[in-house]
Amino acid sequence: MDLHVELYRHTRGLIGHRVPFAPPMLLLDHVGARSGRRRTSPLAYVRDGESYVVIASKGGHPRNPGWFHNLRAHPDTTIQVGAAKHAVRARVATPVERERLWPRAVEAWGPYESYQRRTKRQIPLVILEPR
């Protein structure tokens, strides 16, 4: 992932925003909930109006990914989408929003459906709203 982040940043998204046979990717900056360390994760996303939606699937793992916990602790952050950087505030989608957005996530990346079947937890959708 470090190489993905480096290439994405260095090329301003020319390499890494679009990957063959994968949904578009953004770079999510986040701060460790316990460590306070700054991190960046490349994540698939779908658009919802002016917001971006990322999926906390972790490939169907029983636990949520670390970046999800970090955003819960520090919701104000930044993302890079292609060459553009945005200040955003993260929040978990409501059940009504999730019902509307989950099919769009699966349409963007079909394996999310099998990830959900693989785990007992409901995979959260995180809405990154402009701030």
Q: What is the pTM of this model?
A: 0.94
Judge contact between 110 and 57, C-beta under 8 A: no
pLDDT tens digits, 107-131: 999 999 999 999 999 999 999 999 9
Between 17-21, 68-72, 109-113, the lowest mean confidence (pLDDT) is in 17-21
Q: Show me where the domains of the chain are located.
A: 2-130
Which strand (E) or helix (H) includes residue 53?
strand 51-55
Q: Which fold has domain 2-130?
A: Pnp Oxidase; Chain A (2.30.110)
| Mean pLDDT, the chain, integer | 96
Closest C-alpha among 75, 71, 67 to residue 131: 75
